[in-house]
Amino acid sequence: MFPLNRKYLTTAAMAAGAILHAFAGARANDVVTLGASVQLTGSSANTGRYYKDAYQFAIDKIDAAGGVKVGGKTYKLALKILDNQSNVNLSVRQYVQLVSADKVDFLLGPFASNFALSDSSVSEKYRVPMVQGGGASSEIFTRGYNYVFGTLPAADDYFASTIDMLAKLGIKGKKVALVVADDSFDASVAKGTRQHLLDAGTTIAVDRTYRSGAADFSTILTEVKAADVDAILWSGHETEALNFIRQMQSLNVNPKSFYGFTVGVPTEDFRRALGKSADYAFGMTPWLPDAKLKDRWFGDAAAFAKDYQAKFGYAPDYHAASAIADVETFAIALERAGSLDPKAVRDAIAGVSFDSVYATVKYGTNGQIALPQVVVQVQGGKLVPVFTDHFVGKALFPIPAWDKRP
């Protein structure tokens, strides 16, 4: 072996460092890079894929249409995406890496409130705007942060339209069970929902918080059954929703008229996994692939949903549409700002108002969009919109008991 002396090694390392630095530091000067750390593997990978696919889809569309004009110069958008393995701590480190080492220009968000809650601290600290479509918890938007914007409506109000509908169906004075997970999103849902239920004049007969990720609901379901409630309002994540419904059925738990979920019902995967057991379940979504939602790049939401399905092989839900709105927010804001300066772009984002496949995108003073939730129901394996602030479809109500179904 030839001797490697220390001096030689040091010189080589310095040279390599200089070369690497030149590469890392040199921004292709007509590209704006959006960085994100998303759940590509791990327990949330199933929902994380919406963000990866939709971010890329939107960026490709915008670039294909010529890119973004910023102060007389045209830029292409590019995506730098990292896999946080469904691990919050890793995702925070990756956002730090994105802004400090990878030098991305702006940030897109991760999936889920507990991630967005922690990751937005990085955007705030480094003063790089983050537009995220995966975190709805009000905890994200009540810290006085200036650099985080959100395209999911406030978690506190997820059940507002549902309770509104139940009021019209005569819920006043009835008994309700509230079952929620203990993560950031669901804590926010629970807080808002309790108030909405009180305002609607109901009694919360069972109010249970379970460990996020729990697989066994038999104790809660036994309590709910014993309390003989009229309705169950449930919040958590999709895998837990599947377990809850299946165990509801196998323990023959039948609220007198209603059960509804914050998450899961609008997702194709959910209905496929449950088969007939998914029928009658109520859910909610801030988005449906409606041709009335016009978009500068995609035409309209119905065309978007079709293209998305063809491109990725699965149907988009509101997570995907929300992610599209995040990318488009940057495109619109960059044009408005006429500069790549993070502060100027941040101010431009705060002032945008544009139509997209997702909704009319406009941020409140806290940085969060305001959108109503459409109440949806699974009817014969299909997702049917039922109620917005009035009935838009026929609700199958009351929900028949498990042992009384055809």
Partner 1 sequence: MVLPQILLNGVLLGGLYGLMALGMALVWGVLNIVNLSHGALIMLGGYAVYFLFTVTGLDPFAALPVAMAAMFAFGYLLQRRLLNLVVRSALLNTLLITFGLDVVLTYLAQLAFTADFRTINPTYSGANFAVAGLTVPVVRLAAFGIAIALAATLWFVLARSPLGRAIRATSQNLTAARLYGVDPGSLYAVTFGIGAALAGAAGGLYGMVSNLTPYIGAELTAKSFVIAIIGGLSNPFNVILGGVFVGVAESLAALYLGPTFTNVVGFGLLVGILVVRPSPSIRAA
Give the footprint of partner 1 on this chain (CB under 8 A): 41-43, 45-46, 49, 86, 182, 208-211, 213-220, 222-223, 225-226, 238-239, 242-243, 246-247, 249-252, 269-270, 273-275, 277, 402
* 3 residue type, one letter: P
For residue 282, the minimal CB distance to partner 1 (Å) is: 18
Cβ 255 to partner 1 shortest distance, Å: 15
Residue whose CB is less far from partner 1, 10 or 41: 41
Quote the least distance from Cβ 402 to partner 1, whole Å: 6
Q: Which residue type sits at 318?
A: Y
Residue 128: closest CA among 101, 103, 93, 91: 103
Say if residues 246 and 238 touch (Cβ distance below 8 Å). Answer: no
In this complex, which beta carbon is closest to partner 1, that of residue 156 or of residue 183? 183
Which helix (H) or strand (E) element contains residue 88? helix 88-100
Q: Is there a contact between 145 and 120 (Cβ–Cβ < 8 Å)? A: yes
Shorter beta-carbon distance to partner 1: residue 25 or 275: 275
Which is nearer to partner 1, 268 or 389 (by Cβ)?
Answer: 268
- Answer for the pair 202, 173: CB distance below 8 angstroms, yes or no: yes
- Least distance CB 81 / partner 1 (angstroms): 16
Least distance to partner 1, CB of residue 82, Å: 16
| Single-letter code of the amino acid located at 180 | V
Q: How far is the CB of 249 from partner 1 (least distance, A)?
A: 3
Residue with Cβ nearer partner 1 (182 or 300): 182
CB of 311 to partner 1, least distance (A): 16
- By beta-carbon proximity to partner 1, the closer residue of 40 and 350 is 40
> Residue 143 CB, nearest distance to partner 1 (Å)?
24
C-alpha gyration radius of the chain: 23
Q: Nearer to partner 1 by C-beta: 32 or 245?
A: 245
DSSP secondary structure string for all residues of 175-235: EEEEEEESSHHHHHHHHHHHHHHHHTT-EEEEEEEE-TT----HHHHHHHHHHT-SEEEEE
Could you tell me the two tokens for 404? 């009384």
- Pairwise CA distance, residues 192 & 238, whole Å: 20
CA-to-CA distance for 378 and 331, rounded, in angstroms?
36
Residue 219 Cβ vs partner 1, minimum distance, rounded to whole Å: 4
Closest alpha carbon to 323 in 103, 65, 27, 47: 47
| Inter-residue contact 117 to 135 (CB < 8 Å) | yes
Residue placing its CB nearer to partner 1 in the complex, 232 or 348: 232
- The helix or strand, by DSSP H or E, that contains position 327, with its residue range, turns out to be helix 318-337
> Closest CB to partner 1 among 97 and 249?
249
Q: Residue 241 class from Cβ within 10 Å (0-12 exposed, 13-18 middle, 19+ buried)?
A: buried
